[in-house]
Structure 1
Amino acid sequence: MKHLFKPIRRPCIKTYLFSLLVLPLCAVQSAEAATISASAVIDWSTFKITAIDIGNGLPTLTWSNQNDNSQVNYGYYYANDSAANWSSGTTATETVSTSSYSKSASSSTSISEIKSNAFIDGVFPYQGLSASSNSQRSGSFTVQGSGLLLFEANYSLTEDVGTSSNSWANSDISFNLSYYNDGHSGSVNHNINRYISNGSAPVAETDVLSVALVFKDGWSGNFSANTSVSVSGYDYGSGGGGSVPLPGAFWLFGSALATAASLRSARTIRMMKSFAKVAG
């Protein structure tokens, strides 16, 4: 039994064993799941239009048309849904799932909210994934009387890229208001945009979105409320999920190094044996 283990003590055998153990370990790196999300919501249940007297009485408005639209984007394609009023609502959704990752995007309008969502989760080595969506509620109106019209509603924005590397999330929300009459026009907008990338703290924000303009009797106006979000990530295969295969040159170099080490060890043994014979 003693003789069976004797070859393992030889330096050349040890070198080969070391190579067989270490090189495969170098070929694989730990996987890390990516979780990236973004959401933008206008709480339509809080939407209101306030008429403010600026010395000419209180103005009123009459809607001439209303429109809703929801859209999601995925590569060169998109899904879209629209409605010619603010009560029926719209919905657009995209979902892609595999054994290792999933991504989704959705947008909607309803009597209670205008919303956009995007989400990526899982591991996708050596791939880039993205998802985006947007929704809009718009309308045209005419004004009777003169005065200031204030449009406002509550909103919320959330974003998170977790500990994922090479990722980002973006959310955007806005109110746009304009007037036009006999060659005169004006506009105002309130836009809020939040962007985070790897290493950034998550976003969780709620506040009030508002716009206001002075209208004169008989003027026409346009109004729109918009939400949009997008998320993206690219996994280079290191620290973002999956194994990292080493190039063939590395294996050739490793084999050559192990062979050189073993030959050197064998040569050293032969030289020592020759020296021992001469000394004896």
Structure 2
Amino acid sequence: MLSNQIRKYTTGIILIVIVVLISVLLFFRKTQLNPVTGKKQHINLTHQQEIELGLECAPDMAARFGGLYSNTDIKNKVKVIGQKLVAVRQVSKSPYQFDFHILADSQMVNTFSFPGGQIFITRGLLKLLKTDDEIAIILSHEIGHVMGRHTTEKLSGFDILEKFKDSTHVITNYSPNQINSYITDLLKITFDSEEESEADELALKYMVEAGYNPKAFPEILEKLSGKSEIPGAEDFLNRHPVPENRIENLKSTIIKYHKRK
């Protein structure tokens, strides 16, 4: 009798250990090392799946914000600045396919990046940027989020990405409902202080290497953070919070970059 109880107890313990081991193995199977940040991230997608999903969603993303801005000169300016930034050594060696789009919405002040390299800036935010350096600041920050795979990591638990579990091949032709759900989830994302700091650090690195002056970076954040009343800026701040230490950290990092020159 006692022997049977011990046997059942031992069997139960063994089953629990097996379940725990399987869970750990599955977790690490879906954990990827980011060569840019050196961090391990819990991500379901391959780089190619990120690219394909972003490309599929880009037209619907534009449609949500009144389409793409039609001014050819301004569109070309943003694309040229963006391409200079992604030509820097670290970004150019990545597998991502970057492209830069201006959303026609002139009321919203915001910027978005899809995993894989599709980057959007609203006309409302672009109107506030007076120089190429200021445009480069916003674009390079979003490039930093892509390279840091911040959005991909946040979305890895969402329903649309469940189909990629244990999958290495590319799946295209998403249904309209899947695309709509993915964009909706992406637009809800807010970045935490660690992700913002990481994107800032990468942004400064890319700007300096591309030949842009990052000194206006903290000034833009101060402007958007409410020290001057900007209609629509709350959209930007909800997505990219600007605590006081973020601005101070930026100023310190910029000084370090200038000392290296």
* TM-score, scaled relative to structure 2: 0.23
**Structure whose residues are more often strand by fraction:** 1
* TM-score, scaled relative to structure 1: 0.22
Larger Cα-atom Rg: 1
